[in-house]
């Protein structure tokens, strides 16, 4: 066969192989490699001859192991279509067939050498608590205590809460030990308009910033409020008074609140030395009014707010038979109007009392005892038969002698007694009860008994229709 014919034959075989099934290609490859030619062949120098079964596509290499003449020729003349073959030749190996199925795993090789240690893993969870260890050796003996009281004064606590032990005895023999800190906590809270601040002496509080500090137990801490152009101090609350300076005794933990606002505050407190006296305080600008009525035994507080620099004028008006006296920031005003400039907070008081401009000189219910000797004791008594009736007596004391007034039996709860120094528009020193009342000037003085409670009133307890009174004077 010529070279060109051989190439053509090889090309025809390849086309033919591409038209056949994978099983046909596998048979051809197997016959090429392990068939009659034996071993591996050089596809460029060897021409292969074979027979293809027309029905099955199976290729048989020549020569083969079949009986002659089929061992060297193809079965081209049989009438059995299943055995009919056609001869084919080629001299070039076709493309590799598909991979066969994976064979069985081989035997395991020997274990390789151990690799180096990897990095340490994370710490695992804590294991269970082990059994309790054996008891240790006994420690050295401590200082002996003669009694529980010996614990008192021993150190206790730690840090800012450190202190000393206090021994307390309760009922039924109970004893408690308390660690009393040597320091107490002072806490300051700022309320209202931001901008103001609070400082302390001794130092420790500088609020806002440091608003809580420890101070020595029993020491006194003075707090000072500082205004700004937009935040004005309006008063204390908590462990400090409403307006006065704030000095805190640190016998316990303390808490103080400081209020700030856009205006200054004026606090008025109205009171009366006799519960049958009353009056009011009015002010301008603003037209505010603060009123205390007779028969009201408690003081009345009023507040008003003013922008800084406002000039405020206060006027007091007493009810009939009453007078007043200023106190606080109006103490220098006497009984006239009180004027102040609101460059800071102000606090005033107005106390109302009964006024007796004329001394009673006649009448069965008026008695003049004259001068009472020193170191004397006398008792005066009387009866008020109707609501609102008055009894009174007057006396004087020698120079350098004082007097003590106390109630004497029998005494009706519905009768009120007052002791007055005899000065027109002066205030009562009383009333009785409560007592005693103590005076230390010569006088003169007068004592008035007034039946103030009618039968059936809530306060009436015994004989309120007819009032019995008694007072003892010891000089």
CA distance 7 to 350: 138
Q: What is the pLDDT of residue 345?
A: 85
Q: Taking Cα atoms as reference points, which of 295, 246, 288 lies closest to residue 265?
A: 288
The whole-angstrom separation of Cα 458 and Cα 100 is 120
- Write out the H or E segment, with its range, that includes residue 258: strand 254-261
SS3 state at 33 = helix
Q: How many CB atoms lie within 10 A of CB 335?
A: 11
b or e along 41-69 (b: 16 or more beta carbons within 10 Å of the residue's beta carbon)? eeeeeeebbbbbbeeebbbbbbebeeeee
pLDDT of residue 30: 40
Q: Are the CB atoms for 51 and 75 separated by under 8 Å?
A: yes
Task: State residue 186's pLDDT score.
Answer: 94
Count of H-run helices and E-run strands, the chain? 2, 30
Handedness of CA 162, 166, 170, 175 (dihedral sign): positive
Q: With H, G, I as helix, E, B as strand and everything else as coil, classify residue 351.
A: strand
What's the pLDDT at 224?
92
CATH assignment of 366-474?
2.60.120.380
Phi first, then psi: what are they for 263, rounded to 5°?
Answer: -140, 165
Kindly report, residue by residue over 265-277, the tens digit of the pLDDT. 888 887 766 555 6
The secondary element (H helix, E strand) that includes residue 18 is helix 3-19
Domain ranges of the chain: 3-90, 152-181, 183-261, 271-354, 366-474
DSSP E strand stretches across 73-211: 85-90, 155-156, 163-169, 175-181, 183-192, 197-201, 206-207
List 352's β-bridge partners, or say none: 272, 324
Q: What's the rounded Cα separation, in Å, for the pair 465 and 416?
A: 13
Read off φ and ψ for residue 315, nearest 5 degrees: -130, 135
Check if the beta carbon of residue 383 is closer than 8 Å to that of residue 466. Answer: yes
CA neighbor of 89 nearest in space, from 3, 2, 4, 6: 6
pLDDT of residue 297: 61
Residues of the chain with confidence (pLDDT) below 70: 1-45, 92-95, 141-146, 160, 242-244, 272-277, 294-297, 319-323, 353-367, 383-392, 409-416, 418, 420-436, 442-444, 446, 449-470
pLDDT of 322 reads 56
Residue 297 sits at the vertex; the CA angle it makes with 294 and 302, to the nearest 5 degrees, is 80
pLDDT of residue 275: 58
Q: What is the pLDDT of residue 432?
A: 60
Contacts of the segment 104-110: beta carbons below 8 A, 24+ positions apart: none
pLDDT of the residue at 430? 56
Residue-wise over 160-182: b if at least 16 C-beta within 10 A, else e?
eeebbbebeeeeeeeeeeebebb
């Amino acid at each position: 066969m010529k070279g060109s014919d051989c190439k053509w034959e090889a090309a025809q075989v390849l086309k033919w192989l591409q038209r056949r099934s994978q099983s046909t290609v596998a048979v051809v490859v197997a016959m090429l490699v392990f068939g009659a030619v034996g071993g591996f062949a050089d596809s460029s120098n060897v021409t292969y001859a074979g027979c293809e079964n027309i029905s099955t596509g199976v290729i048989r290499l020549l020569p083969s192991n079949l009986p002659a003449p089929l061992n060297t020729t193809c079965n081209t003349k049989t009438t059995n279509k299943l055995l009919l073959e056609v001869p084919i030749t080629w001299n070039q190996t076709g493309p590799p067939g598909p991979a066969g199925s994976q064979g069985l795993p081989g035997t395991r090789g020997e274990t390789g050498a151990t690799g180096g240690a990897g990095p340490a893993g994370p710490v695992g969870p804590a294991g269970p608590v082990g059994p309790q260890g054996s008891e240790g050796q006994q420690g050295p003996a401590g200082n002996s205590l003669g009694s529980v009281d010996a614990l008192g004064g021993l150190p206790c606590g730690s840090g800012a809460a450190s202190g000393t032990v206090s021994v307390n005895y309760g009922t039924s023999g109970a004893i408690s030990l308390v660690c009393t800190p040597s320091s107490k906590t002072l806490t300051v809270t700022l309320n209202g308009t931001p901008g103001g601040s609070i400082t302390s002496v001794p130092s420790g509080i500088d609020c806002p910033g440091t608003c809580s500090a420890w101070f020595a137990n029993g020491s006194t801490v003075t707090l000072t409020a500082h205004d700004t152009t937009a935040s004005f101090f309006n008063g204390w609350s908590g462990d400090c008074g409403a307006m006065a300076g704030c000095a805190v005794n640190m016998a316990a933990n303390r808490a103080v609140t400081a209020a700030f606002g856009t205006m200054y505050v004026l606090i008025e407190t109205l009171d009366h030395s006799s519960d049958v006296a009353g009056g009011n305080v009015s002010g301008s600008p603003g037209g505010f009014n603060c009123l205390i009525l007779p028969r009201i035994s408690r003081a009345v507080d009023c507040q008003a707010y003013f922008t800084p620099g406002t000039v405020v004028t206060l006027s007091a008006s007493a009810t009939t038979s009453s007078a007043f006296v200023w106190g606080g920031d109006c103490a220098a005003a006497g009984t006239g109007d009180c004027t102040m400039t609101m460059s800071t907070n102000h606090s005033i008081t107005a106390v109302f009392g009964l006024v007796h401009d004329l001394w009673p000189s006649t009448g069965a219910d008026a008695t003049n005892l004259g001068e009472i000797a020193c170191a004397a004791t006398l008792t005066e008594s009387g009866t008020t038969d109707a609501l609102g009736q008055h009894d009174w007596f007057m006396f004087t004391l020698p120079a350098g002698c004082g007097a003590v007034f106390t109630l004497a039996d029998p005494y009706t709860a519905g009768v009120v007694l007052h002791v007055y120094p005899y000065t027109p528009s002066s205030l009562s020193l009383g009333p009785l009860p409560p007592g005693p009342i103590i005076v230390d000037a010569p006088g003169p003085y007068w004592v008035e008994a007034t039946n103030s409670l009618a039968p059936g009133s809530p306060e009436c307890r015994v004989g309120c229709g007819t009032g019995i009174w008694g007072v003892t004077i010891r000089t």
